């Protein structure tokens, strides 16, 4: 860590450059590999597309915005649901479409500004949708934490998850400085070591198998998957991406405040959105999860006061190198499911809580029946498994469910019942 402030265009000396970039790799690593593990994708591919996607973002923004792009948690529900109903390749196709949609939104913002987006997606809608995204994943987290490979309740699995969760929570609340930005990585490593020790003392409970690591080659190309395209997966991902577009606006604003430069104006939101969209489309095209700008890395910049795009680019190259290190990829695959479940119990809750934070900080007034009604309907449809399905033709079945359906209904209610001036705070 250095005490000298470095701006976005400043390049540090090699002695500082490498360790500063490694810090950013640590910050993004836990979350970036967790998404593909939860959705059936290859973690090595996710590292490759995160690194190359970040380089694409840097290119699109003219190397003016220091932002690392990693796996997006907001797209986990559609990745899981579309994979179950249509297959993984169609889920990837939907993610590619979401990235293209980002670029379209960026083009509209370039000429029309952001006023229309604020009207379609005010805080009462977007905050409620983010809550739904987090709580939709709660059953997944608990299943990973409590059940064995056969889906049966296991006290051993729950013990591993509880230890992992406890350490992750402690790191998130108690740790200061750089370590406060990597609680996921700390919890993941601690839970892994606890599982190893438990297996050594109680061989009957050993759940980590290193045979795949031993058999893996030292270096190789990640397992790429090609996308397929269909109307329903594309529509589902595009609708969910309305929420992630707003997330992008928030992350860009926070980065602007941390760095002390207005990235909304220079290079402009249209370019940051285009960079995010192209990185997402690129990632999904090769079989990686959709990307998003990472708050963890914004935290690292705030602590170190190093805002150099060169440092972010260095982290991107390191991520690509790790993706080619096949034994490392095989080691990631040995992470026990309950360890991931323990981390997810906190992480998915944080997603839901960030939605509540959006609502609270925006001053949404729930004394207004309109706001109360919109949030209530979004919660029930999104969390309760609402589904709209019908046959368009004999061969084409249309289905909109969960987060996507809740988002559409929320937007419609918001537009049908405009806020009364003076009775609501979120306008």
Q: Which tens digits make up the pLDDT trace of 384-398?
A: 888 777 766 655 566
Q: How confident is the model at residue 422 (pLDDT cuts 50, 70, 90)?
A: very low
Q: What's the pLDDT at 67?
A: 92
The pair of structure tokens assigned to 404 is 């996507």
- The yes-or-no verdict on residue 131 having pLDDT over 70 is yes
Q: Can you give the pLDDT at residue 271?
A: 95
Mean pLDDT on 185-191: 86
DSSP bridge pairs for 71: 291
Q: Which helix (H) or strand (E) holds 67?
A: none
DSSP per residue over 376-413, as a string?
HHHHHHHHTT-EEEEESSSS-EEEEEHHHHHHHHHHHH
The pLDDT score that the predictor gives to residue 183 is: 80
Minimum mean pLDDT range among 207-211, 253-257, 299-303: 299-303
Structure tokens at 38: 């939860």
* pLDDT exceeds cutoff 60 at 421: no
Task: Find the helix packing angle between 337-361 and 155-174, rounded to 10°.
Answer: 40
pLDDT over 90 at 59, yes or no: yes
**Poorest-pLDDT segment among 155-164, 313-322, 352-361:** 352-361
**pLDDT at residue 149 tops 80:** no
Note the pTM of the prediction, 2 decimals. 0.77
Give the model's confidence band at 427: pLDDT under 50 very low, under 70 low, under 90 confident, else very high. very low
Q: Tell me what pLDDT residue 426 has.
A: 47
> Regarding predicted confidence, which is higher, 277 or 332?
277
Q: Specify the higher pLDDT residue, 425 or 24.
A: 24
Q: Give the mean pLDDT of 337-344.
A: 86
Closest CA to 182 of 262, 296, 292: 296
Closest to 375 in 3D by CA, of 130, 54, 65: 130
- Rounded Cα distance between 28 and 47, Å, is 10
Identify whether the C-beta of residue 291 lies closer than 8 Å to the C-beta of residue 70. Answer: yes
Instruction: Over range 263-272, report the average pLDDT.
Output: 91
145/160 Cα distance (integer angstroms)? 8
400-409 tens-digit pLDDT: 777 888 888 9
Average pLDDT of span 246-252: 81
pLDDT digits (tens, 9 = 90+) for 99-117: 999 999 999 999 888 788 7
Model confidence at 54, in pLDDT bands (50, 70, 90)?
Answer: very high
Chain mean pLDDT for the chain: 85
Long-range pairs of 59-63 with CB within 8 A, sequence gap ≥ 24: 59/275, 60/271, 60/272, 60/274, 60/275, 60/278, 61/263, 61/267, 61/271, 61/272, 61/275, 62/267, 62/271, 63/8, 63/9, 63/309
| Contact residues for 240 (Cβ-Cβ < 8 A; gap 6+) | 74, 75, 77, 78, 98, 403, 404, 407
- The residue written with tokens 């096949």 in the block is 326
The two structure tokens encoding residue 350: 């944080």
Provide the pLDDT for residue 391. 66
Query: What sign does the dihedral 113-119-120-123 (CA atoms) show?
Result: positive
The distance of Cα 199 from the centroid of its chain, to the nearest Å, equals 32
Q: Which residues pair with 291 in a beta bridge?
A: 71
Instruction: Compute the distance between CA of residue 289 and CA of residue 390 in angstroms, rounded to an integer.
Output: 29
């Amino acid at each position: 860590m250095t005490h000298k402030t470095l701006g976005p265009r400043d390049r540090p000396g090699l002695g500082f450059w490498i360790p500063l970039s490694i810090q950013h790799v640590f910050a993004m690593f836990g979350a970036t590999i967790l998404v593909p593990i939860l959705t059936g994708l290859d973690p090595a591919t996710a590292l490759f597309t995160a690194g190359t996607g970040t380089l694409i973002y840097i290119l699109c923004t003219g190397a003016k915005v220091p932002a690392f792009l990693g796996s997006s948690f907001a797209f986990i529900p559609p990745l899981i649901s579309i994979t179950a109903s249509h297959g993984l390749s169609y889920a990837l196709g939907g993610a590619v479409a979401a990235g293209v949609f980002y670029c379209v939104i960026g083009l509209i913002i370039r000429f029309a500004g952001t006023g229309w987006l604020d009207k379609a997606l005010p805080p009462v809608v977007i905050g409620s949708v983010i809550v739904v995204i987090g709580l939709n994943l709660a059953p997944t987290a608990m299943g990973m934490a409590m059940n064995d490979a056969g889906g049966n309740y296991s006290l051993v699995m729950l013990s591993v998850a509880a230890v992992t969760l406890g350490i992750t929570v402690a790191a998130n609340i108690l740790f200061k400085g750089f370590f406060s930005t990597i609680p996921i990585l700390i919890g993941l490593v601690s839970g892994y070591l606890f599982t190893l020790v438990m297996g050594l003392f109680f061989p009957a409970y050993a759940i980590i198998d290193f045979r795949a690591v031993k058999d893996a080659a030292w270096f190789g190309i990640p397992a790429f998957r090609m996308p397929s395209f269909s109307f329903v997966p594309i529509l589902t991902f595009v609708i969910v991406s309305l929420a992630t577009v707003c997330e992008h606006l928030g992350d860009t604003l926070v980065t602007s405040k941390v760095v002390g430069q207005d990235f909304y104006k220079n290079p402009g939101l249209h370019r940051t959105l285009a960079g995010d969209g192209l990185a997402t489309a690129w990632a999904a095209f090769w079989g990686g999860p959709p990307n998003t700008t990472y708050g963890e890395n914004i935290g690292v910049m705030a602590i170190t006061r190093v805002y150099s795009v060169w440092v972010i680019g260095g982290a991107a190259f390191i991520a690509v190198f790790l993706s080619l290190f096949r034994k490392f990829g095989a080691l990631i695959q040995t992470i026990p499911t309950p360890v991931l479940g323990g981390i997810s119990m906190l992480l998915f809750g944080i997603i839901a809580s960030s939605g509540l934070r959006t609502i609270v900080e925006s001053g949404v007034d729930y004394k207004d029946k309109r706001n109360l009604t919109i949030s209530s309907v979004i919660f029930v449809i999104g969390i309760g498994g609402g589904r709209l399905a019908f046959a368009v033709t004999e061969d084409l079945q249309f289905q909109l469910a969960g987060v996507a359906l809740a988002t559409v209904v929320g937007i419609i209610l918001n537009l049908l019942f405009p806020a009364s001036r003076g009775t609501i705070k979120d306008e």
